[in-house]
Structure 1
């Protein structure tokens, strides 16, 4: 006499257990394959209630809701370790925190992936739309930039420019102002500007080719920290004028700009000091190309250029030079 067929639903005897589901029945109700149920069971996500004498897995009625939850979490892209944390906290009565953390983590990862795709798309359009004789150079240029792009080379550029032993908190504050954040959805022109900025900051450069401003030598590392903290406020005030297309002029922004230097130098604000400062700043080395490219990176095509520390400095220096010339006359 032949033994009863023991297919995916188990034997007739297996199905006789009250309230218990065989692996095939559970799979059918959840709309998945038996292989899927076995996969989750083997990894401890879907514990079986018992096994029959024939070795077939049996599941309680709560397994169906658990399996549906697992499917939903998998559809969101969560991996087995993350799903396990969510289920473990659910077994303890509160799955909210683990689920919230897992979803937030995946949103961050997905955002990074989408940004990378947008940068690649814009880079491809940049190469496609440029004249044929420029494509090889454009391709080499954008090929040096990761997607999404890294600002680490720009930060290294400025760290080498700042005075040694400057307090780390001051360096961080300076970098936040000086290093632009690449847009999440760039236009081809912004990709090109960032690639050129990356090339500018990674090009070999000896200390003599990157001279320091006079203020670095005059005030030292801690004095520079005080100086740049105060200059940040002056640049913000100048940015208001730049957005309104105001011509350089004396006022609160210029006074704040000058007071940054008087505080760093430990001197008083006098007409004579302003004339000396104007001459010093005019003679200081400039990194105009850097700030021009930063403007292109952070400004969408067709939009009004966003102020940068570089453009704010130029506005304030023009105001200071004009005022100094007037007092000298």
Structure 2
């Protein structure tokens, strides 16, 4: 062996350093080539199968970095070197950090694979899954990197207990300072998990109606019926009464009409008894309807009042208006056939001289 190979460099002969480098090269190059070959074969095989396991393995292998493989080889090469405690500890600590980072990349790959799979399976049938799954994936990734960060600090000798206590006090102070913002953030989390509404749902909050366009951490944006954008704070939104019209399966229609009870109409008790049946027939002859009830509910100031309740078996507002129009026209035709008159506002004027003048069929302005 030539003499220069026996020269000491950082406590090891030059031949030992060359042997370590050869070990790294001999192991690292085949590992890199083997990874590429296996990934190619595995990807091709995964396309022909329906199982998810091979797809996940291909995803994780894709995320395996060359730096990680190199550090594996360096750990093997350290066995042929005699390093002092300080340099050896630094190299081992660096290797551990590399392994932790690679573990974080793998776990993020698992989360991304899970998110992609569930979005493909459920997004078409449940639009709420999009928001929920994305929010959960962000939280899971933050948790993974937080754990890796704490483990890395512990590897460098940082007192984790003291750090956690300090972060707790700091977090409490920050929470008190931004409690309104945190309230909106937790309200957003509640909206995502509980799903009272999702993007695209038509809703009504108090007197405001519109379609949900965006659900953010601080606010929710709703496009109103008249065109402008309404921005609600998430916390205030959950405090109000939210009506979700997308989850309406049918619409209830309450029809109240008055029949004249004056002498000119010639109304009789028999005719009053037939009116609920006429109203029921007018409803049941229309498609997409479900009759509930019809009753002579009482005596009004100038009418005999009938109340009819029925349902339109669709949440479509335009369809419900079409059905109401058809029902009203049918009622008008049947009342005309039966000689039943609709009531009109009536006003009675009494003079001091004792005369009484009755004026019927006045306009709403005159009767006020």
Query: Per the shorter chain, which TM-score range?
Result: under 0.3
Q: TM-score, normalised by structure 1?
A: 0.22
- Of structures 1 and 2, the one with the larger relative CO (CA 8 A, separation 6+) is 1
Structure having the higher helix fraction is: 1
When Rg is computed on C-alpha atoms for both structures, the one with the higher figure is 2
Structure having the higher strand fraction is: 2
